[in-house]
């Protein structure tokens, strides 16, 4: 069920301390937020000392508030020459401030000016779920959980080294300090994790003790006599955790499309040595080779997994595009907005109802009637629908190239060398060409080579399908409508390099790579359905466009994770009982949503392989497991068409 996120409002008490009228409590000590952050949370967790010489260090916080704990932690990490290679900060917040309000509150801390500006520039909209932000050239990752704490923490997958417990007081917000929250926090701890909080309430001490923490009182901050510190000593590794290497290793990525280039960049930023194998002579030549594709979410009234994943993928995808541009490797794209028109009157009613019930931020999604939709598009439209102002189009080949060019550790590119076979030699994989020559060798392999993945026997358990898609190209001037992406039964892009893309057909296991007039006529028919009379204004177009073959899964969700060895359903429906190929992973099954899913899928797999907090909720991660078809052979479709 969708959880409406109501932003916090800026208010101050009589002493000028930021105050929450909703909870009747202040956001930090009246004696100063920075002093409290330093004494209670950093000092109470013995930081910075405990992150010295570590590959990664993870902090988990309850109550992001105005963000001073995060800024203080980030600043202390930056100032420490012995700091960990990477810092992860995970925080849950039910009522986040808007970016402008955060910036206003941070003005009281001029020492954090540069950090605050970087944070506020990337601050996510008030939408439920996990939001991942990469900061400080990717060395600092902020993972925000917007929503009710118990639900958010139950869905989180991380191993925290330190806990900052900083919710409103137990008397004002008891749910944040409940026994359930404390047990969830204990589950999310790494062995030897520490905690610190300013609260010494008996109920808090009891709940934490019963959850498995050893607690001690310590001198409090300013006028407070005591604070609480503790340690989780008996935490064993969970059965579903993947052991991460102490330092980044070597990896082979097969495929240089959206999926392969994205995971190569994400691994390389973490210091992995990546060898990229691609049968074509460059990136983005196969299914990722279209002139323009659409980046936008797909909401639903029940906020099903497909909707949550497309929301997360769109938001992280926009963040990734912005980061590429900041690093001087921006792909060709435009956040012109996407207009998703209703199919009929009933669909239009449901679209309006969703916006009225979910109350999304207007800069993310709003409903527009037919007249406003026509004004946005610049031409007549069939109906009203959803307007996504910050969504848009992306040129996939340019994104593939940008991913590889932006990689911090250079990616070793093997273009024009098709992978013929994978074999094990000791603990390493050997990638070989048709002549038996070794292209590359590594401990780990990620298969992101689209429908060609089916040619490898190790992928025999995946019910991957090939979907033929034909896009029509229409010549168009830069000022001709529509001025935004319009979609419904199909889609049409604004002019990109003088060409408008209209698409797309979809035929399963149709291997004809030639342009077909019948498919072009179908594309133009869908265009005319969305934009009445549009086809009549066109001269008889020549047969022009592009054919691609997209990997699709039976349940419309991608496949991301370790490849199973079994090739038939198992009797025990527990997925972790399925044997996996050691060090062999896949990213596939994107269908027509490669732009929406590639960045978040790559971040998910790279996080898992590096032992970091995951950027998606546990139930979504489980739903993307390539082994799911062995444990749930009759799994229903992921969600209704919207």
pLDDT score, position 578: 86
User: Does 471 sit behind a cis peptide bond, omega within 30 degrees of 0 on the bond before it?
Assistant: no
pLDDT score, position 32: 83
CB distance 36 to 66 below 8 Å:
no
Q: In whole angstroms, give the CA distance from residue 526 to residue 100.
A: 41
pLDDT score, position 237: 55
User: Does 176 sit behind a cis peptide bond, omega within 30 degrees of 0 on the bond before it?
Assistant: no
pLDDT score, position 489: 87
Q: How confident is the model at residue 602 (pLDDT cuts 50, 70, 90)?
A: very high
For 44-101, the pLDDT digits (tens) are 999 999 999 999 999 999 999 999 999 999 999 999 999 999 999 999 999 999 999 9
Percent of the chain with pLDDT over 70: 95
Percent of the chain with pLDDT over 90: 85
pLDDT score, position 408: 82
pLDDT score, position 551: 95
pLDDT score, position 416: 96
Give the pair of three-digit tokens for residue 551.
Answer: 């990997």
Q: Is the pLDDT of residue 612 over 60?
A: yes
Q: In whole angstroms, give the CA distance from residue 373 to residue 410.
A: 45
Main-chain phi, psi angles of 372, to 5 degrees: -70, -35
pLDDT score, position 257: 97
Residues 6 or more apart from 627 whose CB is under 8 A from it? 461, 561, 562, 564, 566, 575, 578, 580
pLDDT score, position 574: 52
Residue 258: closest CA among 399, 395, 392, 410: 399
For 205-250, the pLDDT digits (tens) are 999 999 999 999 999 998 789 999 999 987 555 555 556 676 899 9
For 502-560, the pLDDT digits (tens) are 998 999 999 999 999 999 999 999 999 999 999 888 888 899 999 999 999 999 999 99
Q: Is the pLDDT of residue 442 over 70?
A: yes
Q: In whole angstroms, give the CA distance from residue 513 to residue 396.
A: 19
Give the residue extent of every domain in the chain.
Answer: 19-232, 250-334+390-455+553-642, 338-386, 465-551
522-529: list long-range contacts, CB under 8 Å, 24+ apart. Answer: 523/470, 523/471, 523/472, 523/490, 524/472, 526/488, 526/489, 526/490, 526/502, 527/490, 527/492, 527/502, 529/382, 529/488, 529/489
Q: In whole angstroms, give the CA distance from residue 46 to residue 179.
A: 25
pLDDT score, position 242: 54
Cα 95 versus chain centre, distance: 21
Q: Is the pLDDT of residue 164 over 60?
A: yes
Lowest mean pLDDT among 234-248, 305-319, 378-392: 234-248
Main-chain phi, psi angles of 537, to 5 degrees: -85, -5
pLDDT score, position 641: 41
Q: What is the reported pTM? A: 0.95
Distances 348 to 57, 297, 341 between C-alpha atoms, Å: 48, 17, 8
For 2-22, the pLDDT digits (tens) are 999 999 999 999 888 888 989
In CATH terms, the superfamily for domain 465-551 is: D-Amino Acid Oxidase, subunit A, domain 2 (3.30.9.10)
Lowest mean pLDDT among 142-151, 355-364, 451-460, 599-608: 451-460
Main-chain phi, psi angles of 162, to 5 degrees: -150, 140
Average pLDDT over residues 366-370: 98
Residue 451: closest CA among 499, 511, 398, 496: 511
Q: In whole angstroms, give the CA distance from residue 478 to residue 499.
A: 9
Average pLDDT over residues 148-155: 97
pLDDT score, position 480: 86
CA dihedral in degrees (60, 64, 69, 70; nearest 10)? Answer: 70
Locus of tokens 């190569």: 264
Give the pair of three-digit tokens for residue 508.
Answer: 């399963």
Q: Is the pLDDT of residue 640 over 80?
A: no
CB distance 333 to 393 below 8 Å:
yes
Q: Is the pLDDT of residue 639 over 70?
A: no
- Domain 250-334+390-455+553-642 top-level CATH class: alpha beta
Q: In whole angstroms, give the CA distance from residue 398 to residue 302.
A: 35
For 199-215, the pLDDT digits (tens) are 999 999 999 999 999 99
Other beta carbons within 10 Å of 621? 18
pLDDT score, position 638: 47
CATH of region 19-232: 3.40.50.150
Between strands 444-447 and 580-588, the pairing is: parallel
CA atoms within 13 A on the CB side of 264: 33
pLDDT score, position 376: 97
């Amino acid at each position: 069920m969708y959880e409406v996120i109501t932003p916090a409002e800026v208010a101050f008490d009589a002493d000028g301390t930021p105050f929450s009228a909703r909870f009747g409590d202040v956001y930090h000590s009246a004696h100063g937020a920075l002093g409290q952050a330093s004494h209670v949370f950093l000092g109470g967790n013995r930081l910075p000392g405990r992150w010295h010489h570590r590959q990664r260090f993870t902090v988990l916080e309850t109550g992001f508030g105005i963000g001073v704990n995060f800024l203080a932690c980030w600043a202390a990490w930056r100032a420490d020459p012995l700091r960990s290679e990477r810092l992860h900060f995970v925080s849950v917040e039910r009522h986040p401030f808007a970016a402008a309000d955060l910036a206003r509150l941070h003005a009281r801390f001029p020492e954090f000016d540069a950090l605050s500006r970087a944070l506020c520039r990337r601050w996510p909209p008030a939408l439920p779920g996990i939001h991942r932000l990469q900061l400080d050239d990717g060395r600092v990752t902020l993972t925000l959980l917007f929503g009710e704490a118990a639900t958010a923490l139950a869905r989180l997958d991380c191993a925290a080294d330190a806990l900052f417990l900083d919710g409103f007081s137990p008397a004002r917000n008891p749910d944040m300090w409940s026994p359930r929250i404390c047990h969830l926090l204990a589950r999310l701890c790494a062995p030897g994790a520490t905690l610190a909080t300013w609260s010494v309430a008996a109920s808090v001490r009891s709940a934490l003790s019963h959850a498995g923490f050893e607690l001690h009182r310590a001198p409090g901050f300013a006028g407070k006599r005591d604070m609480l510190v503790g340690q989780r000593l008996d935490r064993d590794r969970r059965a579903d955790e993947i052991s991460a290497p102490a330092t980044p290793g070597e990896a082979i990525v097969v495929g240089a499309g959206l999926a392969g280039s994205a995971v190569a960049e994400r691994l390389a930023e973490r210091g992995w040595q990546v060898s990229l194998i691609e049968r074509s002579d460059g990136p983005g030549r196969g299914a990722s080779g279209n002139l323009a594709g659409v980046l936008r979410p797909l909401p639903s009234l029940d906020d099903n997994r497909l909707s949550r994943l497309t929301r997360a993928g769109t938001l992280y995808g926009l963040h990734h595009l912005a980061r590429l541009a900041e690093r001087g490797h921006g792909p060709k794209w435009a956040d012109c907005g996407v207009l998703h028109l209703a199919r009929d009157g009933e669909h239009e009613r449901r679209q309006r109802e969703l916006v009225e019930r979910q109350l999304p931020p207007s800069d993310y999604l709003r409903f527009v009637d037919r007249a406003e939709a026509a004004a946005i598009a610049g031409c007549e439209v069939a109906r009203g629908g959803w307007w996504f102002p910050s969504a848009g189009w992306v040129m996939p080949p340019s994104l593939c190239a940008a991913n590889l060019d932006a990689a911090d550790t250079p990616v070793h590119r093997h273009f024009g060398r098709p992978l013929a076979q994978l074999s094990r030699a000791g603990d390493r994989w050997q990638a070989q060409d048709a002549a038996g020559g070794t292209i590359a060798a590594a401990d780990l392999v990620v298969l992101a080579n689209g429908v060609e993945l089916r040619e490898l026997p190790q992928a025999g358990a995946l019910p991957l399908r090939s979907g033929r898609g034909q896009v029509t190209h229409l010549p168009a001037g830069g000022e001709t409508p529509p001025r935004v992406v319009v979609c419904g039964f199909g889609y049409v892009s604004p002019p990109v390099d003088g060409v408008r893309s209209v698409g797309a057909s979809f035929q399963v296991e149709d291997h004809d790579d030639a342009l077909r007039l019948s498919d072009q006529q179908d594309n133009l028919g869908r265009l005319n359905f969305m934009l009445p009379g549009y086809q009549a204004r066109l001269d008889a177009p020549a047969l022009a466009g592009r054919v691609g073959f997209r990997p699709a899964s039976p349940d419309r969700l991608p496949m991301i994770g370790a490849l199973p060895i079994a090739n038939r359903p198992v009797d025990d429906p527990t997925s972790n009982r399925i044997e996996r190929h050691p060090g062999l992973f896949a990213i596939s099954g994107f269908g027509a949503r490669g732009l929406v899913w590639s960045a978040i899928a790559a971040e998910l797999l790279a996080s898992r392989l590096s032992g970091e907090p995951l950027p998606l909720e546990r139930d979504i991660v489980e739903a993307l497991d390539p082994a799911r078809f062995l444990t749930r052979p009759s799994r229903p479709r992921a969600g209704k068409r919207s």
